[in-house]
């Protein structure tokens, strides 16, 4: 099996290393030539993903931003084998899927949207690792969900990189959920850390909740701003919902209304319990 990886940042670099660890031949490409050189020196890839090698690949993973991913797939579509699988690894799905499903139909190869549910605070190839995806979920967005044989084939290819399970959904459902489970935590954390109080030496008076809450404040603003804007409808809905909830807490505290505040806190506790009962802890741990 031969795998091509486009984009050798945190996700793409980790995919390359994971597939190499599994004994797969890996060709990689990054827009930064220094990264290409470093990836080869680190033996994360067997060589560069040149135009000539694209046709050798059984699987191509495109780990760059949605617009660039769609552009790359469109530009290189004539070089992709008709029996090859192409999967993007972008954080939103509607835009890239809407562009790439027709391209794949036109040129005869199989394209699916994808999202590896794993990450770190810091990006780039230097932070990539061959165990980033160990037991992590991978979300697939196929154009058609009834080709079980194809889905099982793709699942096998994906799990070679260490993923623990593969889920299948639609682009719309993915973007709706990801606005809440991933994009909102990044925005809230990024906004929260802007408080002047954060600059006070608070190590002695902060517990694990502070570290957990601010972990994802350190982000790639260029990548995340693109993802936020592409998912603006669902994300704005979540932001407005949170603002409404925060206003209720503010009003209760300002009014010294302890009973109302207790009711609000109990609501949140009960909501967390309901989520745990319905989904289990694993559903709360994605990025």
Span 65-121, pLDDT tens digits: 999 999 999 999 999 999 999 999 999 999 999 999 999 999 999 999 999 999 887
The percentage of the chain sitting over the pLDDT mark of 70, rounded to a whole number, equals 95
Same domain, 246 and 152: no
Same domain, 78 and 158: yes
What's the order of all strands across the beta sheet hosting 85-88?
47-48, 25-29, 2-6, 59-62, 85-88, 110-116, 137-142, 165-168
- CATH number for the domain that contains residue 52: 3.40.50.720
End of a domain among 169, 189, 216? 169
Residue 244 lies in a domain: yes
Residue 25 lies in a domain: yes
**Looking at residues 13-22, what average pLDDT do you find?**
97
Q: What is the pLDDT of residue 257?
A: 97
Same domain, 144 and 244: no
- The answer to whether 17 and 161 are in contact (CB under 8 A) is no
Same domain, 65 and 154: yes
Q: What is the pLDDT of residue 204?
A: 58
pLDDT tens track for 21-52: 999 999 999 999 999 999 999 999 999 999 99
Residue ranges making up the domain that contains 118: 2-169
Residue 93 lies in a domain: yes
Residue 199 lies in a domain: no
Same domain, 103 and 241: no
pLDDT tens track for 187-233: 999 999 999 888 876 565 677 788 888 888 988 899 999 999 999 99
| CA–CA dist 18, 20 (Å, integer) | 5
End of a domain among 169, 194, 217? 169
Residue 221 lies in a domain: no
> Pick the residue with more confidence: 196 or 183?
183
Same domain, 159 and 27: yes
Same domain, 242 and 126: no
Q: What is the 3-state secondary structure (H, E, C) of 166-225?
A: EEECCHHHHHHHHHHHHHHHHHHHHHHCCCHHHHCCCHHHCCHHHHHHHHHHCCCHHHHH
Same domain, 26 and 147: yes
Residue 212 lies in a domain: no
- Split into its structural domains, the chain has a count of 2
Residue 263 lies in a domain: yes
Q: What is the pLDDT of residue 7?
A: 98
Same domain, 246 and 154: no
Q: What is the pLDDT of residue 224?
A: 93
End of a domain among 126, 147, 169? 169
Residue 49 lies in a domain: yes
| CA–CA dist 69, 71 (Å, integer) | 5
Same domain, 108 and 241: no
Identify the band that residue 279 occupies on the pLDDT scale cut at 50, 70 and 90: confident
- Has this prediction a pTM greater than 0.85? yes
Same domain, 9 and 141: yes
| CA–CA dist 166, 175 (Å, integer) | 17
Same domain, 156 and 33: yes
């Amino acid at each position: 099996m031969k795998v091509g990886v486009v984009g050798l940042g945190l996700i793409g670099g980790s995919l390359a290393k994971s597939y190499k660890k599994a004994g797969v031949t890996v060709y990689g490409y990054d827009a930064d030539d220094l990264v290409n050189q470093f990836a080869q020196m680190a033996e994360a890839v067997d060589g560069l993903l040149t135009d000539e090698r694209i046709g050798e690949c059984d699987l191509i993973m495109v780990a760059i931003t949605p617009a660039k991913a769609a552009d790359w797939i469109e530009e290189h579509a004539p070089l992709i084998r008709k029996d090859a699988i192409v999967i993007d690894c972008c954080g939103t799905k509607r835009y890239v899927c809407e562009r790439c499903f027709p391209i794949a139909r036109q040129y005869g190869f199989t394209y699916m949207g994808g999202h590896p549910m794993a990450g770190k605070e810091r990006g780039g190839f230097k932070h990539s690792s061959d165990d980033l995806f160990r037991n992590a979920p991978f979300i697939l967005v196929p154009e058609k969900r009834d080709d079980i044989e194809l889905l099982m084939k793709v699942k096998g290819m994906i799990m070679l990189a260490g993923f623990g399970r593969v889920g299948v959904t639609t682009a719309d459902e993915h973007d709706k959920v990801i606005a809440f489970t991933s994009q909102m935590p990044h925005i809230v954390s990024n906004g929260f850390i802007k408080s002047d109080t954060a600059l006070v030496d608070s190590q002695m008076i902060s517990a694990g909740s502070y570290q957990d809450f601010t972990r994802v404040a350190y982000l790639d603003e260029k990548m995340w701003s693109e993802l936020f804007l592409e998912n603006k409808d669902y994300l704005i809905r979540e932001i407005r919902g949170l603002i409404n909830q925060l206003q209720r807490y503010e009003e209760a505290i300002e009014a010294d209304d302890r009973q109302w505040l207790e009711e609000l806190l109990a609501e949140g506790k009960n909501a967390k319990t309901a989520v745990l009962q319905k989904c289990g802890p694993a559903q709360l741990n994605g990025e």
